[in-house]
């Protein structure tokens, strides 16, 4: 059993290198062999048709899922969330984490901050700022069940962005957001990237791609090509 320790990240985020990772459950292929290289402090966007394996790839990159073949290295360390170094570096939003029914949004962020050893004297201001950053500052005293689906997504983004980490892995962060909020989120993520965080984001949003992408990995569009660019700069 390990008790987490706060990681003060400085300098650029990690380089993420995946070589031939695939996932098969029984005889069902979830992800075809895929390779990628996301340099430190860059933003790699992943696209592809539904069911091509974007979420599976992100889970493998975040170290929460074992690949059937291949390997992932985060700054030379195998991606495995059981390793506390990896846990401290990777902040990921892959689906909706379960929230406490009896904690307000503010309380959730306070809890996260305390478990990462945040300064309790400045906690309140930082929590308020983090909520305001994604546009839900006025909802600080609401409980999670009192949010709309879009507000819920912003809350989950706030949770993910608030915890320390220099590698952000996000699965369709734009889902359920209106156009205005998508732009806010895109700018926030761009600021993170500019601050040195490495970003790996699966998205279908053209605005997010335009504002954020240093590189795009197209996993494929299946037998029928989808509209738009079918192939990207990264290998896969």
Partner 1 sequence: MAEPASTAQDAERLDDALYVLHGSQGTGTIRALLYGGYLVAIFGGVYGFNLLRALLISSDPQWLRAAAASVWSLLAFGTLIIGLGLLAWRVGRVRGPLVPPLPFIDLLLGSAIDRWQVLRERAWVLLISGLGVGVLIGVLLGGAAMGAGLGSAAAVLGAVVGGAVLGVALAWLWLAGQHSLAPRGPGRAVSWPAMVRDLRLDDVRAHALRTTHIGGAVLAGDLRAARLDVAPAITRARSRRLRPGGRVSTIVRRDILGYRRAPGQAVAGVLGVGMSSALIALAVLQPAAPRILGALALIVAYLGFGALAEGVRLVADNAGTPPLLGVSFRAEAVLHLIAPAALALACALPIAALVGRAHALEAAGAPGLHPAYALGAVTVMVALLAGVTLMAAFRGTPPEMSFVPEVGPMTMAYWYGRPLAVAVSGGLLLGSLADSRGWAPVLLGAELALAVAIIAYGIRLARRLELGHRG
Q: Closest distance between partner 1 and the C-beta of residue 235, in Å?
A: 25
Report the residue number, 86 or 208, with the smaller CB distance to partner 1.
86
Is residue 185 involved in binding partner 1 (CB under 8 A)?
no
Q: Closest distance between partner 1 and the C-beta of residue 145, in Å?
A: 5
Q: Which of 43, 46, 91, 202 lies at the binding interface for partner 1 (CB under 8 A)?
A: 91
Is residue 64 involved in binding partner 1 (CB under 8 A)?
yes
Report the residue number, 118 or 236, with the smaller CB distance to partner 1.
118
Q: Which of 36, 79, 112, 134 lies at the binding interface for partner 1 (CB under 8 A)?
A: 112
Is residue 6 involved in binding partner 1 (CB under 8 A)?
yes
**Residue whose tokens read 């079918």:** 230
Residue count of the chain: 236
Instruction: Tell me the H-state helices in the chain.
Output: 54-61, 84-89, 105-115, 123-133, 149-162, 179-194, 206-212
The upper half-sphere exposure of residue 110, i.e. CA atoms within 13 Å in the direction of its Cβ, equals 15
Helices (H) and strands (E) in the chain, counts: 7, 9
Q: Closest distance between partner 1 and the C-beta of residue 196, in Å?
A: 20
Is residue 93 involved in binding partner 1 (CB under 8 A)?
yes
Answer for the pair 32, 76: CB distance below 8 angstroms, yes or no. no
């Amino acid at each position: 059993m390990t008790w987490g320790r706060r990681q003060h990240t400085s300098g650029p985020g990690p380089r993420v290198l995946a070589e031939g990772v695939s996932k098969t459950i029984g005889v069902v292929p979830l992800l075809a062999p895929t390779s990628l290289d996301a340099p430190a402090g860059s933003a790699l966007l992943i696209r592809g048709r539904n069911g091509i394996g974007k979420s599976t790839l992100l889970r493998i990159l975040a170290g929460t899922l074992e690949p059937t073949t291949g390997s992932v290295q985060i700054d030379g360390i195998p991606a495995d969330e059981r390793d506390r170094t990896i846990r401290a570096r990777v902040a990921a939003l892959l689906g909706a984490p379960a929230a406490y029914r009896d904690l307000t949004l503010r309380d959730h962020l306070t809890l996260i901050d305390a478990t990462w050893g945040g300064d309790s004297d400045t906690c309140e201001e930082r929590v308020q700022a983090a909520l305001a950053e994604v546009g839900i500052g006025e909802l600080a005293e609401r409980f999670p069940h009192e949010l709309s689906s879009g507000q819920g997504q912003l809350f989950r983004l706030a949770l993910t962005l608030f915890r320390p980490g220099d590698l952000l892995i996000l699965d369709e962060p734009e889902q359920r957001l209106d156009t205005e909020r998508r732009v806010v989120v895109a700018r926030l993520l761009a600021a993170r990237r500019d601050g040195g965080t490495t970003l790996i984001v699966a998205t279908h949003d053209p605005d997010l791609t335009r504002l954020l992408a240093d590189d795009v990995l197209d996993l494929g569009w299946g037998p029928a090509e989808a509209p738009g660019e079918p192939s990207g700069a990264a290998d896969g």
